[in-house]
């Protein structure tokens, strides 16, 4: 075992003192993986395999700075951190004795101050030894040395005693950066990848203290209604919706109430004035389109429990941390309250809690539909968790009941969705049955008497999973909407074998949400890419995700989905910011994959 100063590739922004076995690279195996990928990007050799040993003293650095305090007790001037770039043409040459030069270079390599200063500049211990050797070899090459007259003269001055050996350090640092670019850039990359303080990404929101109001309650409890009243009465406001169809609903409702409101979703913009140059004071948008640069008096963020969603959770975290609004209303399950409280405590914002109870009872039935579509009745909504099955089930219901069915799903165009909802809601219409996906679980006002769950599982993009208690309650709660035709809501299953599980899930307490999703900003990815010239967008994202550091409050969203999109875009001459937007586009995975293939084909053909 030997004591040495080293910097782990995964913790490169820290100076760490390790007790290392000979030949080790750092203190963590993931650090080796990062180093290997970085080395590939720079076409250099990867480090030796990590020997995981340990004993660590942390000393967090801001920007590393060479210190002649380390070398000889006096601070280096700023201009001593890099060698001069030019010299007098009349500079006299000094003849260097081979023995003197070897002694000088050996002394420089062995100086503890040189090694410590190199580490402070972000050069890992493993690279340091190799770089010192290659630096000595380069100076021993008289032909190469003759092309650097200033360095040639400095060596002569050091041998003559008129200069200090530590004055070689800027030349050594320049040599290392040229020879091992990955070694010195990693600390900068690691700093960009530090995602442990996402609230600091939003300086406008940090400029003042905000007031949060958490409206906690089940579906059909009036929590969102009260928040929207504040939105509508404010001078300026923004409503952040979980779905495009809900953003449309609030956009129409606001304008109908006499509060001019614009609409912004991933694929549509509407202006109440009809003039893009005259925006309204109110905006209804999907949460991914939340504007964190404009100030608002009141903001409403709906369905805040979606902050734990593995694909979209980062949009809710961004809205909560980044909205520059005096008053922010969060609506959702109480299971999100402990996490929200942690976030607001970290920021130093004020948090109030308003709790709500359901306005009409929800009754789980003791009997299913026995697997027979003929048992579907007026006011029923049959819920399927697959768009592929949606229209197949709709046809079977229509044949069995001899009645037309309304249909609603997440990707339905807004005009069609409004038409379908009106057909179902209006009394006397022939369309009194609905077939829908779980898109109805978020904020839609539908005149549903009974929710019929076709099954209790859902494909999450990777595997089929059972519904959680919170998800099931969100959907079931849409039955018996207060103020509509039915004085209570009912919920049951299509198949009898699911009935017992339904009752169990409805009676189970909801677990508190533990983590919030985050995703790097486009500015972070761009800054990261500037340190990796020539690297592909896919390599940039891969390295960023490997190097990213987060704390236990957060998790990285949609990593695999983003990398898959980046693979589809690989090799295209598209600006990085545009590729970033394409990767984050709110498109269903199977359709998104096809769209990206078409973009690829179009770009290649062009």
Mean pLDDT of the chain: 79
Q: Is the pLDDT of residue 551 over 70?
A: yes
Q: Is the distance from CB of 201 to CB of 347 less than 8 angstroms? A: no
pLDDT at 41 (0 to 100): 53
Angle between helices 537-547 and 181-192 (to 10 degrees): 70
Angle between helices 469-476 and 499-507 (to 10 degrees): 100
Q: Is the pLDDT of residue 254 over 50?
A: yes
**Higher per-residue pLDDT: 211 or 543:** 211
- Please tell me the distance from the alpha carbon of residue 246 to that of residue 228, in angstroms, as a whole number: 13
pLDDT at 443 (0 to 100): 60
pLDDT at 108 (0 to 100): 84
pLDDT at 323 (0 to 100): 98
Q: Is the pLDDT of residue 154 over 90?
A: no
pLDDT at 597 (0 to 100): 57
**Higher per-residue pLDDT: 600 or 339:** 339
- Among residues 177, 186, 189, 442, the alpha carbon closest in space to that of 332 is found at 442
Q: How confident is the model at residue 533 (pLDDT cuts 50, 70, 90)?
A: confident
Task: Give per-residue pLDDT as tens, 481-515.
Answer: 765 667 789 999 999 999 999 999 999 888 899 99
pLDDT at 392 (0 to 100): 93
Write out the two tokens for 234: 């404010």
Q: Is the pLDDT of residue 463 over 70?
A: yes
CB atoms within 10 A of CB 119: 21
Angle between helices 337-347 and 313-322 (to 10 degrees): 40
Task: Give per-residue pLDDT as tens, 393-447.
Answer: 999 999 999 999 999 987 787 778 878 888 888 877 778 899 999 888 776 678 8
pLDDT at 44 (0 to 100): 45
- Please tell me the distance from the alpha carbon of residue 488 to that of residue 505, in angstroms, as a whole number: 20
Q: Is the pLDDT of residue 382 over 90?
A: yes
Q: How confident is the model at residue 96 (pLDDT cuts 50, 70, 90)?
A: low
pLDDT at 99 (0 to 100): 67
| SS3 state of residue 413 | coil
- Please tell me the distance from the alpha carbon of residue 586 to that of residue 584, in angstroms, as a whole number: 6
- Please tell me the distance from the alpha carbon of residue 363 to that of residue 382, in angstroms, as a whole number: 16
pLDDT at 135 (0 to 100): 86
Kindly report which listed range (5-14, 179-188, 189-198, 247-256) carries the lowest average pLDDT score: 5-14
pLDDT at 343 (0 to 100): 97
**Higher per-residue pLDDT: 118 or 401:** 401
Q: Is the pLDDT of residue 252 over 80?
A: yes
**Higher per-residue pLDDT: 475 or 5:** 475
- Among residues 442, 472, 229, 473, the alpha carbon closest in space to that of 354 is found at 229
Q: Mean pLDDT throughout 124-148?
A: 79
- Please tell me the distance from the alpha carbon of residue 420 to that of residue 157, in angstroms, as a whole number: 87
Q: Is the pLDDT of residue 336 over 90?
A: yes
Going along the chain from its start, the domains and CATH numbers come out as 2-192 (1.10.1740.140), 199-355 (3.40.50.300), 362-507 (3.40.50.300), 519-605 (no CATH)
The segment with the largest mean pLDDT, out of 131-145, 304-318, 425-439, is: 304-318
Query: First CA to last CA across the chain, in angstroms?
Result: 60
**Higher per-residue pLDDT: 153 or 299:** 299
Under 8 Å CB-to-CB from 261, ≥6 apart: which residues? 250, 251, 254, 255, 272, 280, 282, 283, 284
The fraction of the chain above a pLDDT of 70, given in percent, is 78
- Please tell me the distance from the alpha carbon of residue 108 to that of residue 154, in angstroms, as a whole number: 13
Q: How confident is the model at residue 348 (pLDDT cuts 50, 70, 90)?
A: very high
Q: Is the distance from CB of 575 to CB of 569 less than 8 angstroms? A: no
pLDDT at 153 (0 to 100): 85
Question: Which pairs with CB-CB distance under 8 Å and at least 24 residues apart come from 536-539?
Answer: 536/570, 536/571, 537/566, 537/569, 537/570, 537/576, 537/579, 538/563, 538/566, 538/567, 538/569, 538/570, 539/37, 539/40, 539/41
Task: Give per-residue pLDDT as tens, 571-594.
Answer: 888 888 888 888 877 655 554 555
Task: Give per-residue pLDDT as tens, 172-226.
Answer: 888 887 887 766 677 788 889 999 999 999 999 999 999 999 999 988 888 999 9
Mode of pairing for the β-strands spanning 464-466 and 362-364 = unpaired
- Please tell me the distance from the alpha carbon of residue 460 to that of residue 234, in angstroms, as a whole number: 38
Q: Is the pLDDT of residue 58 over 50?
A: no
User: Would you mind telling me the total number of residues written for the chain in this entry?
Assistant: 606
**Higher per-residue pLDDT: 435 or 101:** 435
The segment with the largest mean pLDDT, out of 73-87, 170-184, 384-398, is: 384-398
């Amino acid at each position: 075992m030997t004591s040495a100063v080293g910097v782990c590739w995964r913790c490169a922004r820290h100076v760490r003192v390790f007790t290392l076995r000979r030949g080790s690279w750092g203190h963590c195996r993931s650090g080796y993986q990062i180093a290997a990928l970085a080395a590939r990007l720079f076409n250099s050799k990867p480090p030796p395999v990590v020997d995981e040993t340990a004993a660590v003293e942390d000393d967090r650095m801001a920007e590393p700075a060479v210190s002649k305090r380390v070398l000889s007790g006096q601070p280096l001037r700023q201009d001593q951190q890099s060698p001069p770039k030019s010299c007098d043409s009349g500079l006299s040459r000094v003849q260097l004795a081979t023995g003197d030069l070897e002694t000088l270079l050996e002394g420089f390599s062995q100086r503890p101050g040189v090694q410590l200063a190199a580490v402070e500049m972000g050069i890992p211990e493993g690279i340091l030894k190799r770089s010192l050797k290659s630096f000595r070899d380069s100076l021993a090459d008289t032909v190469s040395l003759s092309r650097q007259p200033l360095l040639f003269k400095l060596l002569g001055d050091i041998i003559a005693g008129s200069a200090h050996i530590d004055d070689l350090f800027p030349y050594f640092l320049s040599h290392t950066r040229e020879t091992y670019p990955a070694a010195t850039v990693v600390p900068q990359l690691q700093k960009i990848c530090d995602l442990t303080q996402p609230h600091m990404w939003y300086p406008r929101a940090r400029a003042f203290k905000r007031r949060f109001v958490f409206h906690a309650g089940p579906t059909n409890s009036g929590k969102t209604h009260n928040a929207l009243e504040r939105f509508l009465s404010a001078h300026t406001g923004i409503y952040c919706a979980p779905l495009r169809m809900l953003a449309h609903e609030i956009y129409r409702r606001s304008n109908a109430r006499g509060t001019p409101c614009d609409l912004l979703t991933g694929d549509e913009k509407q202006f109440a004035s009809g003039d893009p140059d005259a925006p309204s004071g109110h905006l209804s948008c999907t949460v991914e389109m939340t504007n964190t640069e404009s100030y608002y008096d009141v903001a409403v963020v709906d369905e805040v429990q979606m902050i734990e969603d593995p694909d979209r959770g980062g949009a809710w975290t961004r809205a909560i941390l980044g909205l520059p609004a005096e008053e922010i209303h969060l609506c959702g399950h109480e299971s999100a309250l402990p996490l929200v409280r942690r976030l607001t405590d970290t920021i130093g914002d004020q948090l109030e809690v308003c709790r709500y109870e359901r306005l009409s009872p929800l009754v789980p039935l003791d009997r299913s539909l026995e697997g027979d579509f003929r048992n579907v009745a007026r006011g029923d909504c049959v819920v399927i968790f697959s768009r592929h099955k949606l229209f197949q089930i709709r046809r079977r219901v229509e044949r069995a009941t001899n009645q037309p069915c309304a249909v609603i799903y997440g990707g339905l165009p807004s005009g069609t969705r409004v038409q379908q909802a009106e057909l179902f809601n209006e009394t006397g219409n022939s369309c009194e049955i609905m077939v829908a996906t779980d898109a109805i679980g978020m904020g839609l006002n539908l005149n549903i008497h009974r929710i019929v769950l076709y099954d209790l599982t859902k494909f999450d993009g990777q595997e089929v999973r059972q519904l959680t208690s919170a998800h099931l309650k969100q959907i079931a709660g849409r039955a018996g909407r207060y103020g509509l035709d039915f004085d209570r809501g009912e919920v049951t299953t299509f198949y009898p074998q699911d009935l017992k599980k339904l009752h169990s899930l409805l009676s189970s307490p909801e677990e508190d949400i533990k983590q919030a999703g985050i995703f790097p900003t486009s500015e972070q990815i761009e800054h990261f890419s500037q340190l990796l010239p020539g690297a592909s967008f896919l390599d940039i994202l891969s390295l960023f995700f490997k190097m990213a550091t987060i704390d236990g409050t957060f998790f990285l969203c949609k990593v695999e989905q983003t990398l898959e999109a980046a693979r589809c875009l690989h090799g295209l001459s598209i600006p990085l910011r545009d590729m970033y937007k394409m990767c984050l586009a709110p498109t269903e995975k199977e359709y998104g994959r096809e769209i990206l293939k078409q973009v690829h084909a179009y770009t290649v053909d062009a």
